[in-house]
Amino acid sequence: MHADLIVERPEGLYCPPGDFHIDPWRPVDRAVITHAHADHARIGHGHYLAAEPGAGVLRARLGAIDLQALPYGEAIEHRGVRLSLHPAGHVLGSAQLRVEHRGRVWVASGDYFVAGDDPHDANPTCAPFEPVRCDCFITESTFGLPIYRWRPQREIFAAIDAWWAANAAAGRPSLLMGYSFGKAQRMLAGVDASIGPILVHGAVEPLNRAYREAGVALPATRLVSEVQDKAAFARALIVAPPSVAGSVWTRRFASVGDGSSDAFASGWMQLRGARRRRGVDRGFVLSDHADWPGLHRAIEATGCTRVIVTHGYEAVMVRRLAELGYEAGAFKTEYGDEVLDKDEPTTG
């Protein structure tokens, strides 16, 4: 019986024949990074391998690193292991890692998003998820419960636009919160920019720049810190990370008109009570992760017989996959849902 191609180690997921780690959470010599969210891409590794479209974001977040950027689909050999990176549809540069060794193929998905049947559901800010045939598929399970089923994206953006337009008509600033890498750019690409000016937090703009440099079309934005006249906030959409909620940074909007309206965009808004716990006026269900049907479509499309579930509702997913006839298990990881925003500044 062959040993597993990818195993758990204290540092993170590890490929023994290739002697490299995948999204390790402790410093290692060689790390393959599936995407630049902080729970997957950490500082301190000796050498990084990542998908070429995400190189700019990785450098923007991690600084000067020894990075090898590999185009999607291009394979390299390392210690007898054939590696290639394939689009995951999650954020700019997000990738699934295909590992082939002695005729066996495993795929580590990282985080991924699978669009529905409506063509408008595709994430316009990154390459769409590409199913990769394999024997074993390592899948995320962030939203691995049957209650998570995303509504068509155009309905969500129509609701965001209507909320912004109503606020603009009343002279209220519209503070829309979402994770600064990935979610913020997806929101910017989806809203109707003709409604009013768009302002962004200082944590968002460097990522916008990296997206634009990668060829992603985003509407014009200005930094909130550059605005001197508070009247300019009245019709504006202000995009910021969730860490600004209740902070001093937001007080500048409270004195405009009858005060600002705030909203949070996340898949967690699907849960009843999540908006109340966030303390926001509106909650929009918009996620860059696969929902319950999307997870199952992705797994089925790989043609795999074995599935390993990570970070999320592992027990539920493993039980359901076993019922469907898969050899199913789980890896314990330190990944979470965009933990990067916990340490982002509220100034900027």
**Per-residue pLDDT band at 344 (split at 50, 70, 90):** very low
Alpha-helix residue ranges (DSSP H) falling in 14-116: 55-62
pLDDT digits (tens, 9 = 90+) for 168-190: 999 999 999 999 999 999 999 99
Mean of per-residue pLDDT scores for the chain: 92
Best CA proximity match to 196, nearest among 218, 169, 178, 177: 169
Residues 6+ apart with CB under 8 A from 143: 267, 270, 287, 289, 290, 291, 292, 295, 312, 313
How buried is 195 (Cβ within 10 angstroms: 0-12 exposed, 13-18 middle, 19+ buried)? buried
CATH 3.60.15.10 fits 7-148+288-343, yes or no: yes
Q: What would be the CATH architecture of the domain defined by 153-284? A: 3-Layer(aba) Sandwich (3.40)
Domain borders along the chain are: 7-148+288-343, 153-284
Reduced to 3 states (helix: H, G, I; strand: E, B; else coil), residue 57 is helix
Number of Cβ atoms within 10 Å of the Cβ of 348:
19
Q: What does the pLDDT read at residue 337?
A: 59
pLDDT digits (tens, 9 = 90+) for 44-89: 999 999 999 999 999 999 999 999 999 999 999 999 999 999 999 9
pLDDT digits (tens, 9 = 90+) for 113-130: 999 877 778 899 999 999
**Per-residue pLDDT band at 339 (split at 50, 70, 90):** very low
Between 265 and 336, name the one with better pLDDT.
Answer: 265
Q: Residues, the chain, total?
A: 348
